[in-house]
Amino acid sequence: MAKSRNWIANLDWITILIYVLMIFLGWINIYAAVYTEDQPGLIDFSLRHGKQLIWIMAAILIAFIILLIETKFYYYFAYVFYSIFIIILFVVIFIARDINGANAWLEIGSFRIQPGEFAKFATALAMARLMSTYNFDISDRKDLLKVMVIMFLPVVLIIMQNDLGSALVYFSLLIVLYRYGFPGWILLLGIFFVGLFVASFKISTLTLTFFVIFLASVLSAINFRRVTEVSIALGVFTLVLILSWVMIKLVDIKIELYYLVALSFVFSSIIYGYWIYSKKLGFVLLMLGFVFMSLIFLFSVEYIFNNIMGEHQQNRILVLLGEKDDPKGIEYNVNQSKIAIGSGGLTGKGFLQGTQTKYKFVPEQSTDFIFCTVGEEWGFLGTTSVILLFIALFWRLLVMAERQKTPFSMLYGYGVTGIIFFHFAINIGMTIDLAPVVGIPLPFFSYGGSSLWSFTILLFIFIKLDSSRQNIL
């Protein structure tokens, strides 16, 4: 009895409050998104806001159950959960019907769940379990491989279900490795190349080239306090670029500007390389190598895409990146989304007053584009509040993670933060055209039972772990 009172007293009520606030605000906005003047009923279980109410009830029930279960259970059953979900994900590939181009839904009667959503908490648990084992050593290749397998097995299976968005989410678990002590620069490099790959379809190669060069220069300048040298290097490069551009204008040859940039870069880096070699500035050389690799990567992505891939493969990638899609086009979605959010202004049009929302200009508005409703009806004040609410949640989660006594709870806490943050960043990013449209929900806001329940499970397991942080496993 004393023990039970102990964990209840230790529950992090701030996090629970934030959770309740989020699902409440989420429901209000779902109601606004499905609202039409013809159907003003507040509770109608045939409509989405009515259904969401059921999902919310169920989610609260799930949260209670999770809190009631012994903490040890999650530790010991981590691998079991993981195995079960891997099997389900594997089976789903074969039995799922094609819904919106993905075979990611498991159907039981009229009931539809997305195992990929639930596999997240299982993967986070399994990773935390593995990495908290006594003799786990990240620098040991075998152990590293084990973590990677646990992390990327669901990714492979979900990609096979054609659901790139959900698969990408698992990359957010890299944050767990990072906190554990995995060298940061390798993670950054990975993130950088993924970013570069995505950006190469959105931004011209030329712009990216300049960006890469600038980034490398700034980094080396800061790291080695060699502002003078870097400025000289940039100066040489610019000079060579201008000279070659003038020459090309003079002889009147038609050549793409970015080939010129690449050429200038190679030429100037030879000069610069010789100069720093004589001065033995190792890191600067490394930065040059990084720039060089990035450029090669950029050009090869473009080359492979344009010349090696077939049209079918190209389209596939463009659709996955949100550059091409469906009857009306992804661009239409993003445009309408921006219009809805932008038209909200500073204070919004008011609850149920958003014309873009009411008249369904934004597709998927109650699910992936729920943030548009916030933007249109509640304005900049509303969107900022939601963002601040998320920041409060992340801050709370990280504070909780850091106070854990066991590596298992702590690592799981980081996993939870990573997953929710990734959803937050990509989802809001895509509604305001800062991220590709990959179709992942906004945690606790978007309509849908699978996503609400999976985030509830994810969060409440951590709250439970945190509540018994005093009891050392």
Partner 1 sequence: MNEYANRYYVVISAIVFVAIIFIIRLFSIQALDPSYKATAESNSTRVVIEFPTRGLIFTRDSALMVENKSSFDLMVIPENVTAFDTSYFIEILQLDSIQFIKEFIKAKKRSYIPAMVYKEIPDSIITKFQELQWMFPGFYLQTRALRHYPLSSAAHILGYIGEVDKNMIEKDAYYKQGDYIGITGIEKTYEVLLRGKKGRKLYLVDAKNRIRGSYKDGEMDETAISGKNIVLSIDSRLQTFGEQLMANKRGSIVAIEPSTGEILCLISSPAYDPNLLVGKNIASNYTQLRNDEANLLFNRAVMAQYPPGSTFKLVNALIGLQENVITTHSHFTCAGGYNVGSFHLGCHHNGSIEFYYSIQGSCNAYYCHVFDRILRNKEFQTIGESYTEWRNYVMQFGLGKRLGTDLAQELRGYIPEASHFDKYYGKDKWTPLRLISMSIGQGELGFSPLQMVNMTAAIANRGYYYTPHLIKNIEDLDTIPSKFKQKHTIDIDSAYFEEIIKGMEMVMKAGTAANAYVQGLDICGKTGTAENPHGKDHSIFVAFAPKDNPKIAISVYIENAGFGSTFAAPLASLLIEKYLRDSISVPQWETMLLNTSINYKTK
Residues that bind partner 1 (CB under 8 A): 36-37, 175, 178-181, 184, 336, 338-346, 355-356, 358-361, 375-376, 379-380, 383-384, 387-388, 390-391, 394-395, 398, 401-402, 407, 410, 414, 417, 421, 425, 428-429, 432, 434
Name which of 143 and 302 has its Cβ closer to partner 1. 143
**Least spacing, CB of residue 77 vs partner 1, in Å:** 23
A 10 A CB-CB count for 322 gives 23
Least separation in angstroms between CB 168 and partner 1: 16
What residues does 108 pair with on adjacent strands? 111
Task: Report the nearest approach of partner 1 to the CB of residue 414 (Å).
Answer: 8
State how far the Cα of 138 lies from the Cα of 126, in Å rounded to an integer.
Answer: 15
Nearer to partner 1, 113 or 401 (CB): 401
DSSP string, 204-259: -HHHHHHHHHHHHHHHHHHHHT-HHHHHHHHHHHHHHHHHHHHHHHHHT----HHH
Nearer to partner 1, 87 or 194 (CB): 194
Cβ closest to partner 1, residue 417 vs residue 451: 417
Choice between 226 and 358, CB closer to partner 1: 358
Please give the single-letter amino acid code of residue 64: F
| Residue 411: CB minimum distance to partner 1, A | 9
CA distance 61 to 64: 5
Classified as helix, coil or strand, 20 is helix
Cβ within 8 Å of residue 25, ≥6 positions away? 374, 386, 389, 445
Distance of closest approach, residue 225 Cβ to partner 1, in angstroms:
21
Write out the H or E segment, with its range, that includes residue 465.
Answer: helix 449-467
Q: Fill in the DSSP letter of residue 173.
A: G
Please, what is the minimum distance in Å from the beta carbon of residue 349 to partner 1?
Answer: 9
Least distance (Å) between residue 265 CB and partner 1: 29
Judged by beta carbon, residue 136 or residue 197, the one nearer partner 1 is 136
Q: Which is nearer to partner 1, 401 or 465 (CB)?
A: 401
What are the strands, taking DSSP E only, across 364-473? none
Q: Which is nearer to partner 1, 35 or 81 (CB)?
A: 35
Q: Closest CB to partner 1 among 100 and 353?
A: 353
Cβ nearer to partner 1, comparing 166 with 431: 431
Look at residues 433, 432, 442, 446 and name the one whose alpha carbon lies nearest to residue 366.
446
Q: Count of residues for the chain?
A: 473
Q: What 3-state class would DSSP assign to 327? A: coil
Distances (CA, A) of 226 to 28, 48, 229, 232, 293: 54, 59, 5, 10, 22
Q: How far is the CB of 296 from partner 1 (least distance, A)?
A: 28
Tell me if residue 39 falls in helix, strand or coil: strand
DSSP string of 60-114, one letter each residue: HHHHHHHHHS-HHHHHHTHHHHHHHHHHHHHHHHHH---BTTB---EEETTEEE-
Minimum CB–partner distance for residue 247 and partner 1 (Å): 40
d(CA 421, CA 174): 12
Q: How far is the CB of 407 from partner 1 (least distance, A)?
A: 6
Q: Distance between CA atoms of 159 and 324, rounded to whole angstroms?
A: 18
